[in-house]
Amino acid sequence: MLFNELALSAPILRAVQEEGYTTPTPIQIQSIPAVLKGGDLMAAAQTGTGKTAGFTLPILQRLMDSKAGEVKTRRQLRALILTPTRELAAQVHQAVLTYGKYTSLKSAVIFGGVGANPQINAIKKGLDILVATPGRLIDLIGQGFISLKEIEILVLDEADRMLDMGFLPDIKRILALLPKTRQNLLFSATFSAEIKALANTLLKSPALIEVARSNSTHEAITQKIHPVDKNKKQALLAHLIKANDWQQVLVFTRTKHGANKLVTQLEKDGITCMAIHGNKSQTARTKALADFKSGKITALVATDIAARGIDIDQLPHVVNYDLPNVSEDYVHRVGRTGRAGSNGIAISLVCIDELALLKDIEKLTKQTIPQEIISGFEVDPKIGIQPIKAARSVRHQAQQKNNPQARRQAKSQALKSRAGQKNNT
Ligand code: AMP
């Protein structure tokens, strides 16, 4: 199947061709005709499947079609795309601009964390399509800059993330402001009970599309484990980047502090890098992402939350510097590479402390990830499970006194402390 068999008009096809895409991805083959028909859609699709073009292209087409023949004195906002994160909003808007560049449709993106004035100015010029995060949208509706009365198409992108991030009340407030008759498109990587409940209230006889199981990792991704001691991880990462001449690598750490520390160490090794996490300002995050995309820096070190929705064309390497505490995050992290039609490599540096996490990940993804020891970084068999800071003093006592009760207490503290790290991303 080729794009030009999908009932898209010449201005849209021209933009798609300029991006170098000739064949639609599986989700696009299903979603484009479904959206063009005008009905509701519920799609299970992760980032990396081509889902953004899957809804953007037919929305542009529908807006172009419905505009023809209508004489409107003023542009009306007719399509609203909601995303959970600022980064995703910016990326989706970039897709709207790219695919819509030969149409006369106007669009804007709004999100929090930056000044509202440039966004308000863009809105005042008149819009057909708005990409927004829920908070800033409600803010600007409240201030009277946006009306949703003429919305014909609503998209909820990464709806599961939106609910995870606590946006359900905001979404409900927004839904209450929309016209009753409209087209609704819901995209979500997973389908929890909450998502199904939302879909039930939102969608009318939706077309259902599923392109990948939610917990499967992509075939185009080569996954590998390098067993290594914790204190040698940084040296191993620097070695891998230099020895393999990696030009663009996204590195995941479990904590913000860990991300900052790693950046400082990699810089000492002469590797250009930046961190992206929740303590960084929006300006710093945007700059880090732009420098990473343009190749100015080699490594981008991110926590899971900051990395949500990052879309980088054909990202070649992802490294799990720490394994995530939540196995599903492994699937999301690894999904940043091996994008539509290209191959990717996902490497995990795993120390003895993380073997239980690795087991959980392999169980979830139903695979055994191949292991490879890198020469010079062999695991020291004398190193046991490393004491977690909070447990150190009690554990020390236990070793001193050879006291089994204190040893049990130390072990339970270590487990609790590890579980607590979950909240520090
Ligand atoms: P998405 O799942 O929307 O985040 O898209 C993942 C990546 O695939 C993006 O970088 C797109 O530019 C790219 N892409 C989208 N459609 C196609 C296509 N038909 N062929 C090749 N790459 C595509």
Domain span holding position 109:
3-210
Mean pLDDT, the chain, rounded, equals 85
403 is a domain residue: no
Q: Do both 304 and 350 map to the same domain? A: yes
- Contact (Cβ atoms closer than 8 angstroms) between residue 160 and residue 130: no
If pLDDT is split at 50, 70 and 90, which confidence band does 385 have? Answer: confident
How far is Cα 54 from Cα 99, in angstroms, rounded to an integer? 11
β-pairing verdict for 153-156 and 207-210: unpaired
* Minimum mean pLDDT range among 17-26, 150-159, 185-194, 336-345: 336-345
> Domain boundary at 177, 210, 243, which?
210
Q: Do both 118 and 252 map to the same domain? A: no
Q: Is 421 exposed, middle or buried (0-12, 13-18, 19+ CB in 10 A)?
A: middle
If pLDDT is split at 50, 70 and 90, which confidence band does 339 have? Answer: low
Please tell me the residue having the least CA distance from ligand 1 atom 16.
50
Please tell me the residue having the least CA distance from ligand 1 atom 10.
313
What distance in angstroms lies between residue 98's CA and the mean position of ligand 1's atoms? Answer: 12
pLDDT, tens digit, 9 for 90 and up, residues 372-384 = 999 999 999 888 8
370 is a domain residue: no
User: Rounded to 5, what percent of the chain is helix, strand, coil?
Assistant: 45, 15, 40
How far is Cα 175 from Cα 141, in angstroms, rounded to an integer? 13
Q: Do both 64 and 118 map to the same domain? A: yes
297 is a domain residue: yes
Q: Is the dihedral of CA 281, 284, 290, 295 positive or negative?
A: negative
Which is higher by pLDDT, 412 or 325?
A: 325
Pocket test for ligand 1, best of 5, 19, 29 (most atoms within 8 A of CB): 19
What distance in angstroms lies between residue 21's CA and the mean position of ligand 1's atoms? Answer: 8
Please tell me the residue having the least CA distance from ligand 1 atom 1.
50
413 is a domain residue: no
How far is Cα 402 from Cα 85, in angstroms, rounded to an integer? 51
Pocket test for ligand 1, best of 3, 18, 25 (most atoms within 8 A of CB): 25
What distance in angstroms lies between residue 397's CA and the mean position of ligand 1's atoms? Answer: 56
Residue position matching structure tokens 């990395």: 307
β-pairing verdict for 221-227 and 207-210: unpaired
387 is a domain residue: no
Q: Do both 297 and 332 map to the same domain? A: yes
Ligand 1, pocket residues at CB < 6 Å: 21, 23-25, 28, 47-53, 311, 313, 339-341
Q: Do both 332 and 312 map to the same domain? A: yes
Query: Which atom of ligand 1 approaches the CA of 91 most closely?
Result: 4
pLDDT at 410: 47
Q: In what order do the strands lie in the sheet with 207-210?
A: 107-110, 129-132, 79-82, 153-156, 183-188, 41-44, 207-210
419 is a domain residue: no
Q: Whole-model pTM? A: 0.61
- Contact (Cβ atoms closer than 8 angstroms) between residue 182 and residue 152: yes
> Domain boundary at 159, 184, 210, which?
210
pLDDT, tens digit, 9 for 90 and up, residues 140-170 = 999 999 999 999 999 999 998 899 888 999 9
How far is Cα 130 from Cα 215, in angstroms, rounded to an integer? 31
Domain count of the fold of the chain:
2
State mean pLDDT over 191-201.
88
Please tell me the residue having the least CA distance from ligand 1 atom 22.
340
Q: Do both 180 and 235 map to the same domain? A: no
Residue 221 has pLDDT above 90, yes or no: no
Phi, psi at residue 275, to the nearest 5°? -105, 150
Which is higher by pLDDT, 139 or 306?
A: 139
| The pair of three-digit structure tokens given for residue 120, joined into one six-digit string | 């308000």
What distance in angstroms lies between residue 314's CA and the mean position of ligand 1's atoms? Answer: 9
> Domain boundary at 314, 349, 365, which?
365
Pocket test for ligand 1, best of 4, 5, 31, 52 (most atoms within 8 A of CB): 52
pLDDT at 216: 53
What distance in angstroms lies between residue 41's CA and the mean position of ligand 1's atoms? Answer: 19
Residue 192 has pLDDT above 90, yes or no: no
* Minimum mean pLDDT range among 90-104, 177-191, 279-293: 279-293
Please tell me the residue having the least CA distance from ligand 1 atom 17.
50
Q: Residue 164 belongs to a domain with what CATH number?
A: 3.40.50.300
Query: Which atom of ligand 1 approaches the CA of 24 most closely?
Result: 19
pLDDT, tens digit, 9 for 90 and up, residues 405-424 = 544 454 444 444 434 433 33
pLDDT at 283: 84
If pLDDT is split at 50, 70 and 90, which confidence band does 73 have? Answer: low
Which amino acid, 241?
I
324 is a domain residue: yes
Q: Do both 124 and 229 map to the same domain? A: no
What distance in angstroms lies between residue 32's CA and the mean position of ligand 1's atoms? Answer: 14
State mean pLDDT over 24-29.
91
Q: How many CA atoms lie within 13 A of 377 on its CB side?
A: 22
- Contact (Cβ atoms closer than 8 angstroms) between residue 175 and residue 202: yes
If pLDDT is split at 50, 70 and 90, which confidence band does 397 have? Answer: very low
239 is a domain residue: yes
What distance in angstroms lies between residue 20's CA and the mean position of ligand 1's atoms? Answer: 10
pLDDT at 155: 98
What distance in angstroms lies between residue 340's CA and the mean position of ligand 1's atoms? Answer: 5
Cβ atoms within 10 A of the Cβ of 234, count? 19
Q: Is the dihedral of CA 270, 273, 277, 282 positive or negative?
A: positive
> Residue 269 in 3-state DSSP?
coil
Can you name the residues that pair with 109 across neighbouring β-strands?
Answer: 131
What distance in angstroms lies between residue 97's CA and the mean position of ligand 1's atoms? Answer: 15
Q: Do both 206 and 231 map to the same domain? A: no
Residue 110 has pLDDT above 90, yes or no: yes
Please tell me the residue having the least CA distance from ligand 1 atom 20.
21
Please tell me the residue having the least CA distance from ligand 1 atom 5.
50
Cβ atoms within 10 A of the Cβ of 80, count? 23
* Minimum mean pLDDT range among 8-22, 309-323, 364-378: 309-323
Q: Do both 359 and 317 map to the same domain? A: yes
- Contact (Cβ atoms closer than 8 angstroms) between residue 246 and residue 317: yes
Helix (H) or strand (E) holding 292: helix 282-294
Alpha-helical runs (H) found in 143-231: 159-164, 168-175, 193-202
- Contact (Cβ atoms closer than 8 angstroms) between residue 292 and residue 248: yes
Q: Do both 198 and 66 map to the same domain? A: yes
Q: Do both 54 and 189 map to the same domain? A: yes
Radius of gyration for the chain, computed over Cα atoms and rounded to the nearest angstrom: 24
Q: Do both 249 and 201 map to the same domain? A: no
What distance in angstroms lies between residue 162's CA and the mean position of ligand 1's atoms? Answer: 22
Q: How many CA atoms lie within 13 A of 147 on its CB side?
A: 7
